[in-house]
Amino acid sequence: MDTMEIMPEVTADKTNTDFLPINGTDYLELFVGNALQTAHYFQNAFGFQPLAMAGLETGLTDRESYVVVQDKIRLVLTSPLHGGTSIGAHLDRHGDGVQAIALWVDDATSAYQETMKRGAQSFLEPVTTQDDAGTVVKSGIRTYGDTVHLFIERKNYSGVFLPGFVAWKPLHVPTVTGLKYIDHIVGNVGWNEMNKWVKFYENVMGFTTLVSFDDNDISTDYTALMSKVMSNGNGRIKFPINEPAKGKRKSQVEEYLDFYGGPGVQHIAVATDHIVETVRTLRDRGVEFLQVPASYYEDLSARVGEIDEEMANLRELGILVDRDDEGYLLQIFTKPIMPRPTLFFEIIQRKGARSFGKGNFKALFEAIEREQMLRGTL
Ligand code: FE2
């Protein structure tokens, strides 16, 4: 395996203090056609737990939201309650997809002011909401496409989710599947736009480039793309940004852009400590994964060396392995979970490695191309 270009990580002794301290991902909000049934899917297939809801019952007139949670991962699923809403327009343009990546901060007003000062486009001026459980300050800026970053300050709040939401307690609660936290969130941007968005994350949000790949790293006979991984100061937030590159046929990023109607979130990588058990459970519960050919496993031991997992289990489930200087990682990708071939999930287990599975790109893209071929979009 060739070496990867890893830029130095920003550490605490960096002279500039972090102007945008982020504690972690607060939640992801998806605009979907049917929030209740999508919540049901995430509960039954992925093992998310019901947490909160807001809608007509809580005084909303335009939308209904269900919040599901698994360990540190929170998803908000929102649908419009009548025609002519901005949510409906978003759905018409993009289909079901991620509208907001909400970041957990200690000071949402400062996060807004500091990013606006550095050239952000406003989405939401700081607004304080409250209920019996305390106050939350929320603000937001725009990022690629119609996607936004919200800043959520909840240090003075002890409620179930956010003011305006009530606990959601359906009778049926499926068991968890071992998903723990969001490892990274990947955005697809348009032709020649990657560096624009890299500059946005650097200049406006104070992120640094952790890793970069070009089309020499990531290409097959047909597909090519370029990617840079942006990370915040403490490394808790990692946003790889993909741009299509010219290949013989249509790049998977280009296919995404066509179907999503522009840039947007391509995949959400969620971490587990027991990938074999997690993937087996997800598969039993109906989650469909991309499969690599059996030949992938023939030279795997030679490529990644000694690993803790049984090769037979990995082969059976189609779990991929990659090694870097610091350790190894195991990963697998779902098929797109929406009608349009856009958003999908990655399940990842890190065993020391902090990279993103570059050694798997070729096998993976060939698997994606087989799917594109079936869709007739290659
Ligand atoms: Fe990924």
Domain co-membership, 157 together with 196: no
For residues 256 and 259, give the distance between their C-alpha atoms in angstroms, rounded to a whole number: 5
Domain co-membership, 51 together with 135: yes
Any idea what the CATH number is for the domain that residue 369 is in?
3.10.180.10
Convert the pLDDT of each residue in 14-60 to its tens digit: 446 899 999 999 999 999 999 999 999 999 999 999 999 999 999 99
According to the model, what pLDDT value does residue 92 have? 98
Give a yes or no: residue 369 inside a domain.
yes
- Find the 34 Cα to ligand 1 centroid distance in Å: 26
According to the model, what pLDDT value does residue 10 have? 47
Using the 3D structure, point to which of 110, 141, 167 is the last residue of a domain: 167
- Find the 37 Cα to ligand 1 centroid distance in Å: 26
SS3 7: coil
Residue 163 zone, left/alpha/beta (φ > 0; ψ -120 to 50; rest): beta
- Find the 117 Cα to ligand 1 centroid distance in Å: 31
- Find the 170 Cα to ligand 1 centroid distance in Å: 32
Q: What pTM value is reported for the model?
A: 0.92
- Find the 167 Cα to ligand 1 centroid distance in Å: 32
Domain co-membership, 342 together with 254: yes
Tokens of 186: 């990947």
- Range with the poorest average pLDDT among 150-154, 161-165, 213-217, 276-280: 213-217
- Find the 227 Cα to ligand 1 centroid distance in Å: 11
Residue span of the structural domain in which 90 resides = 14-167
Contacts of 172 (CB under 8 A, 6+ apart): 43
Contacts of 20 (CB under 8 A, 6+ apart): 105, 111, 114, 115, 205, 206, 232, 233
- Find the 356 Cα to ligand 1 centroid distance in Å: 6
Q: Structural domain tally of the chain?
A: 2
- Find the 342 Cα to ligand 1 centroid distance in Å: 14
Domain co-membership, 359 together with 296: yes
Give a yes or no: residue 5 inside a domain.
no
Convert the pLDDT of each residue in 122-174 to its tens digit: 999 999 999 999 999 999 999 999 999 999 999 999 999 999 999 999 999 99
Domain co-membership, 74 together with 188: no
